[in-house]
Structure 1
Amino acid sequence: MKRKFIAAVVAVLLAPLLTVILPAGTASAHGWINSPASRQQQCRAGTVACGEIKYEPQSVEGPKGLRNCHGNVGRFAELNNDGKGWQVQNVSPNQTFTWTITARHRTSTWEYFIGGTRVWSKNDGGAQPGGTVTHNVNLGSARGRQKLLAIWNIADTANAFYVCIDVNIR
């Protein structure tokens, strides 16, 4: 009986220490498109000189309903700079986009926009994605150089993740 009591006391005393020294788990979802190379991917790869986004391509998270490249995150505002020298990716009218998901979060919808018009969407009904997600997207009748905005809407928060890709639709 005495051993059980001592073990319980030690556990109670160690619990606060363990919460401080053990690494915390991932708190929220994160992801970006790596293929074709999004603006975040180009920053990560050093293709375009960027600031903090180079180290956090997965962190462009903002409130749902935005239509910009930086998700209203001030430190990633350079993603909105269309004159920054982003490399244009040649794509087909039916293109596969590959997301890298570094922290999985239940998904309501995925959306793709060109020029403010939604060209493709998928309702995932709260499903939890794997580490890689691919979408075969019909880009409609849009052709030539375009800025594509992809949005990952999270099911159980008010936030979404935003990704822009400069494309040439052939």
Structure 2
Amino acid sequence: MRKKLGATLVGLSLIGLPVLATSSAQGHGYTDSPISRQKVCANGGMTNCGEIIWEPQSVEGPKGFPSGGPADGRICAGGNSRFAQLDDPRGGTWPATRVSGGQSYTFNWRLTAAHATTDFKYYITKDGYDPTQPLTRSALETTPFLTVPFNGKIPPYTVTHSGTIPSGKHGKHLILGVWTIADTGNAFYACSDVQF
């Protein structure tokens, strides 16, 4: 009886593995070039990050940015209170990727699960941006400096986009990457601190 019960439990646990492994297989991803706040946290580059250290790919919120989407001050976390640490400017001390205005740059997303995609858009903060304040729409240039249409196609698990870093910027800025999903009401958000 004990052998049968043990074999049954092992069999059930093996059957359950694929279900557990795929239950979170929705569209998920983050930018690692320039490195996003969620990836900085997952890499241990910042402390007191909360749950995002285990789920850098899960910064998902309502799509429609900038007219819709997460509320001001909650953009870097995608409006998701579980990841509110990403919205904390931490006095402007987030590690920043060095960039130069006008340089060609390869933006990189890592996807843990792909999804039918509308587009990827990249926004940058305006001149006079204060890195000690939470991100708001008024702090961003209103037009994305790079838009990559996907027209409902499913991207690969590593997505790269070539673009040009906007000229005329100085000091610390923030680049917001928005991956808009075609067949859900959501998008993924990634805030990357950069230093000109």
Return the TM-score normalized by structure 1.
0.82
1:63 corresponds in structure 2 to 62
1:12 corresponds in structure 2 to none
Provide the aligned length of Structure 1 versus Structure 2: 153
RMSD between aligned alpha carbons? Answer: 1.9
1:21 aligns to 2:48 (yes or no): no
Match of 1:87 among 95, 113, 129: 95
Higher mean Cα deviation, 82-91 or 94-103? 82-91
What residue ranges of structure 2 are gaps of 5+ in the alignment? 1-11, 126-139
- Report how far residue 18 of structure 1 moved: 8.9
Change (3 A) 1:74 1:18: same
1:130 corresponds in structure 2 to 156
Q: Tell me, yes or no, if the aligned pair for 1:113 and 1:120 is still in contact at 8 Å.
A: yes
1:160 corresponds in structure 2 to 187
- Report how far residue 143 of structure 1 moved: 1.5
| SS of equivalent residue, structure 1 residue 125 | coil
1:43 corresponds in structure 2 to 41
Could you list the per-position Cα deviations for residues 54-94 of structure 1 after superposition, in whole angstroms to 9, with x for gaps in the alignment? Answer: 11000000001236100110010111111263101102332
CA distance in 2, matches of 1:45, 1:19: 31
CA distance in 2, matches of 1:122, 1:111: 6
CA distance in 2, matches of 1:141, 1:58: 30
Q: Tell me, yes or no, if the aligned pair for 1:143 and 1:168 is still in contact at 8 Å.
A: no
CA distance in 1, matches of 2:84, 2:111: 22
Change (3 A) 1:44 1:142: farther
CA distance in 1, matches of 2:89, 2:159: 26
CA distance in 2, matches of 1:123, 1:21: 38
Q: Tell me, yes or no, if the aligned pair for 2:99 and 2:165 is still in contact at 8 Å.
A: no
CA distance in 2, matches of 1:69, 1:148: 10
Larger Rg: 1
| SS of equivalent residue, structure 2 residue 38 | helix
